[in-house]
């Protein structure tokens, strides 16, 4: 069994993970839309938050490996640390891709107004990569899985709020509105706004580009070998 296959099997072994990976994405489909805000139905704003939670749940398994000494044993194994890392990340990304397809496809079948389902899917895929890279960088800072997850949950709520996923950025004070641009959630919210209201093509490319830039930075931070 390859590391990729093992990571997939391991991800679905935990019953709590099954809720994050199956039930919660389906529930997001049925949340209603609003005539005023947000730009897409409420469930798709919350789905962005869910992606962040799923990313840390999945990435935490690599933190477990580090704490159990698995990463140390890779030094004498015929598998490089890079090989171990990218196969795990690939498995997690496949799971997130499935969730994105489930949420968008289910919304289309249910009759939700998504304006351009393909654009919504692409936006969520790019944000999933950013979230996974963010989670990888995050777990590199911790030695305790529970502490990492609990602090991360608080951070997610904060950046979702300041980034415009939970409430409109326009309702925030001017200083917070300018601060919002540093959060990946801001670019996800901006992408949803672009899909709903339209705009120049360069704007959506900028949004994807910013999310990919975050991904690269977080991957560099998180891929530094941690053996302690």
Q: What is the pLDDT along the chain (228 residues), one digit of tens a residue?
A: 588 888 888 877 776 777 777 777 888 888 877 666 678 888 898 899 999 999 998 888 888 877 776 666 665 666 777 778 888 899 999 999 999 999 999 999 988 888 999 999 999 999 999 999 999 999 888 878 788 888 998 899 999 988 988 888 888 887 777 888 999 999 999 999 999 888 899 999 999 999 999 999 999 998 875 544
Query: What's the number of CA atoms in the CB half-sphere (13 Å) around residue 159?
Result: 21
Sign of CA dihedral 76, 78, 79, 80: positive
Neighbours of 217 (CB within 10 A): 14
φ/ψ (deg, to 5) at 77:
-95, 160
Per-residue pLDDT at 224? 77
Q: Where are the domains of the chain?
A: 3-222
Tokens for 69?
Answer: 């000494």
Per-residue pLDDT at 228? 44
Q: Do 127 and 192 form a contact (C-beta atoms < 8 A)? A: no
φ/ψ (deg, to 5) at 39:
-75, -40
Per-residue pLDDT at 75? 59
**Using CA atoms, how far apart are residues 148 and 142, in angstroms rounded to an integer?**
6
- Exposure string (b/e) for 106-122, b if CB count within 10 Å is 16 or more? bbeeeebebeeeebbbb
Closest-CA residue to 131 (of 224, 214, 55, 28): 55
What is the residue-wise DSSP string for 194-222?
Answer: HHHH---HHHHHHHHHHHHHHHHHHHHHH
Q: Is 15 exposed, middle or buried (0-12, 13-18, 19+ CB in 10 A)?
A: exposed
**Using CA atoms, how far apart are residues 204 and 198, in angstroms rounded to an integer?**
9
Per-residue pLDDT at 227? 42
Per-residue pLDDT at 194? 94
Per-residue pLDDT at 23? 77
Per-residue pLDDT at 35? 67
Neighbours of 127 (CB within 10 A): 27
């Amino acid at each position: 069994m390859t590391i990729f296959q093992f990571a997939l099997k391991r991800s679905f072994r935990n019953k709590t993970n099954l809720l994050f990976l199956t039930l919660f994405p389906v529930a997001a489909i049925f949340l209603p839309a609003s005539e005023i805000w947000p730009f897409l139905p409420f469930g798709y704003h919350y789905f962005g938050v869910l992606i962040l939670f799923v990313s840390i749940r999945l990435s935490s398994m690599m933190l477990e490996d580090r704490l159990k000494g698995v990463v140390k044993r890779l030094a004498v194994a015929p598998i490089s640390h890079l090989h171990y890392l990218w196969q795990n990340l690939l498995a997690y990304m496949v799971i997130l891709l499935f969730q994105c397809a489930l949420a968008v496809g289910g919304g289309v079948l249910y009759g939700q107004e998504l304006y351009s389902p393909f654009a919504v899917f692409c936006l969520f895929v790019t944000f999933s990569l950013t979230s996974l890279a963010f989670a990888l960088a995050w777990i590199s800072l911790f030695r305790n899985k529970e502490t990492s997850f609990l602090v991360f949950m608080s951070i997610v709520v904060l950046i979702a709020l300041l980034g415009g996923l939970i409430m409109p950025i326009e309702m925030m004070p001017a200083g917070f509105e300018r601060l919002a641009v540093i959060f990946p959630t801001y670019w996800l919210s901006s992408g949803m706004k672009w899909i709903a209201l339209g705009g120049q093509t360069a704007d959506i490319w900028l949004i994807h580009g910013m999310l990919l830039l975050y991904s690269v930075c977080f991957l560099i931070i998180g891929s530094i070998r941690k053996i302690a």
